[in-house]
């Protein structure tokens, strides 16, 4: 009887939310969904009609207080003054290439932790089974996430804090399925139990993040904080002031300095930190796992890459830094991103009459899903698109000059999105993937696990991951190899 009452109460609550939300934002909730799988059509939408494709839908537009859309991070905040301030803070103040040197100590720590984690796993600790086999996803995540946490919160972050952060972010990723919360309200009501899990997961994030943010607020202005090596992301958020009303369409066209400003709310801080930690870690984990999976299947490619990495290392030890370009390493990473973009899709809300007419979208506008994996494997844009062939990105190859961010003339792949709202962490993510893959092939030889081969079946969740996590046999290379 108690269970029945609980179910009925939850149903009435969801119906009340449905009625309130359908009155408040019917266009955003009831929009039909259109999928774009074609690279040329993606270019037309994101380049020719860039202004019409600048708003992303909120994952859960009805979770905020009545009358206010909840837009807590860069992914979901509408284009306008607030988005520009948030974006400028991240790209100019935190992720700018001029700051790359400041992150070198953190990156070295991550690579050392990766190699140590693999060595420990091989002898039966961690994710290994004692005969050289390693669960790759776990050792990569465990090496990278503490660095991302320090980059976000500063050197005061402890091991227990890192474990708590990992736990709540992992829960959040499991509770959010991209296709699940972007559709009709009726579909959301059918999956009301997932809605409850999602909301509870958000509360757990706040319980972990906010005390760390408060701690940083007390210490961020100390002279000895982090020894001046780098400025943590949270420090920039604490000092940031965003335009009031900047998340509304009415704010479009206004100069930020003509608007009043306010500090970020707790909800916004939690959303931005979650986005920074989750996106900055899991996109790299996905790329590294997929890349190594292909190198395990193709040992000749692995050997070729190892020789390039070894030559680059010899140059560095000889004091000739940078004389051996890592062209093949870059090609391997790009081919992995083409076939297996870190996220399954990117979403836009479109209501422009011109874009609707030209692209044959529903008359009242639509929610458009760009299917990134299909765009990267479009047979009209690529030769043998389902084959892992890094040489296509080398000099003379069909994709010479193609990078992770599409240019204005064509879209052949867009693993980090395209247009104004491409992922701002693209450069750092690719750099981390290159560092990790280079270390993996430099220090170890990789082969399939004794239990079987490599399963390249994809699963689409919050990120595009391998359905069967890669388990591979790692053999340490001799120093003279």
Question: Which region holds residue 154: left if phi is over 0, alpha if psi is between -120 and 50, else beta?
Answer: left
Positive or negative torsion for Cα 377, 382, 386, 388:
negative
| Dihedral-angle region of residue 384 (phi above 0 means left; psi in -120 to 50 means alpha; beta otherwise) | left
Q: How many residues does the chain have?
A: 481
Range 1-23 average pLDDT: 43
Q: Which range among 10-14, 328-332, 446-450 shows the weakest confidence by mean pLDDT?
A: 10-14
Calculate mean pLDDT across residues 158-164. Answer: 93
Residue partners of 25: CB distance under 8 A and separation at least 6: 61, 69
pLDDT digits (tens, 9 = 90+) for 42-85: 999 998 888 888 888 765 443 443 334 455 688 888 888 999 99
Predicted local distance difference test score (pLDDT) of residue 93 = 83
Domains in the chain, ordered, with CATH?
30-476 (1.10.630.10)
Q: Count Cα neighbours of 189 within 13 Å in the Cβ-side half-sphere.
A: 16
User: Model confidence at 250, in pLDDT bands (50, 70, 90)?
Assistant: very low
List all residues 6 or more positions away from 258 whose beta carbon is below 8 Å from its beta carbon: none
Residue with tokens 């340490």: 476
Question: Tokens at residue 112, please?
Answer: 């050392």
At 462, which helix (H) or strand (E)?
Answer: none
* Mean pLDDT on 236-263: 71
Dist CA 88 CA 72 (whole Å)? 16
Report d(CA 210, CA 424) in Å as an integer. 24
pLDDT at residue 481, as a whole number: 45
What sign has the CA pseudo-torsion 100, 305, 110, 343? positive
Question: What is the pLDDT, as a whole number, of residue 381?
Answer: 93
Query: How do residues 380-434 score in pLDDT, each as one tens digit?
Result: 999 999 999 999 999 999 999 999 999 888 899 999 999 889 999 999 999 999 9
**Which of these, 86, 76, 90, 72, lies nearest to 202 by C-alpha position?**
72
Residue 235 pLDDT > 90, yes or no? yes
With tokens 């899903």, the residue in question is 369
pLDDT band (50, 70, 90) for residue 231: confident
Q: How far is CA 327 from the centre of its chain?
A: 24
- Residue 335 · residue 327 · CB < 8 Å: no
Q: Is 84 exposed, middle or buried (0-12, 13-18, 19+ CB in 10 A)?
A: middle
Q: Look at residues 157, 187, 170, 179 and name the one whose alpha carbon lies nearest to residue 18.
A: 187
Which of 2-16, 86-100, 223-237, 463-477 has the highest average model confidence (pLDDT)? 463-477
Mean pLDDT, residues 35-41? 93
Confirm or deny that 434 is annotated as ligand binding: no
Residue 435 in this model has a pLDDT that exceeds 60: yes
Unique residue bearing structure tokens 């600048």: 54
With CA atoms as reference, report the closest residue to 146 among 98, 196, 101, 112.
112
Token pair, residue 213, equals: 């943010």
Distance CA 182, CA 29 (A): 8
Whole-model pTM?
Answer: 0.85
């Amino acid at each position: 009887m108690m269970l029945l009452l609980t179910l009925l109460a939850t149903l009435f609550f969801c119906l009340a939310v449905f009625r309130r939300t359908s009155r408040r934002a019917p266009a955003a909730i009831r929009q039909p969904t259109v999928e774009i799988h074609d690279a040329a059509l993606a270019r037309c939408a994101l380049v020719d009609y860039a202004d019409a494709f600048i708003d992303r839908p909120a994952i859960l537009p009805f979770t905020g207080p009545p009358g206010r859309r909840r837009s807590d991070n860069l992914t979901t905040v509408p284009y306008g003054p607030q988005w520009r301030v948030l974006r400028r803070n991240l790209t100019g103040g935190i992720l700018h290439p001029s700051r790359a040197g400041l992150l070198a100590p953190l990156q070295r720590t991550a690579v050392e932790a990766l190699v140590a984690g693999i060595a420990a796993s091989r002898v039966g600790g961690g994710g290994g089974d004692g005969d050289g086999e390693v669960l790759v996803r776990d050792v990569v995540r465990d090496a990278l996430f503490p660095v991302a946490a320090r980059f976000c919160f500063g050197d005061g972050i402890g091991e227990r804090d890192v474990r708590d952060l990992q736990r709540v972010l992992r829960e959040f990723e499991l509770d959010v399925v991209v296709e699940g919360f972007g559709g009709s309200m009726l579909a959301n009501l059918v999956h009301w139990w997932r809605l409850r899990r999602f909301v509870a997961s958000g509360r757990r994030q706040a319980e972990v993040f906010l005390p760390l943010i408060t701690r940083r607020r007390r210490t961020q202005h100390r002279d000895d904080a982090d020894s001046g090596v780098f400025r943590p992301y949270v420090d920039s958020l604490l000092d940031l002031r965003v335009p009031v009303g900047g998340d509304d369409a009415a704010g479009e066209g206004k100069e930020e300095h003509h608007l009043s400003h306010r500090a970020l709310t707790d909800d916004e801080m939690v959303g931005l930190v979650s986005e920074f930690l989750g996106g900055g870690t899991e996109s790299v984990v996905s790329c590294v796992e997929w890349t190594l999976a292909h190198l395990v299947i193709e040992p000749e490619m692995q050997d070729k890459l190892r020789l390039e990495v070894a030559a680059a290392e010899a140059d560095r030890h000889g004091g000739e830094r940078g004389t051996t370009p890592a062209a093949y390493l870059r090609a391997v990473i790009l081919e992995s991103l083409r076939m297996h973009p870190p996220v399954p899709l990117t979403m836009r809300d479109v209501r422009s009459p011109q874009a609707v007419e030209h692209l044959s979208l529903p008359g009242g506008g639509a929610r458009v899903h760009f299917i990134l994996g299909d765009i990267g494997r479009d047979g009209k844009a690529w030769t043998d698109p389902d084959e892992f062939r890094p040489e296509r990105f080398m000099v003379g190859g069909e994709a010479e000059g193609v990078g992770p961010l599409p240019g204005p003339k064509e879209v052949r792949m867009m693993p980090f999105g395209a247009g104004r709202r491409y992922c701002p962490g693209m450069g750092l993510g690719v750099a981390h993937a290159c560092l990790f893959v280079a270390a993996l092939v430099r220090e170890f030889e990789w082969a399939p696990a004794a239990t079987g081969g490599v399963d390249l079946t994809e699963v689409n969740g919050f990120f595009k991951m391998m359905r069967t996590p890669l388990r591979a046999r790692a053999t340490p290379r001799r120093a003279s190899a």
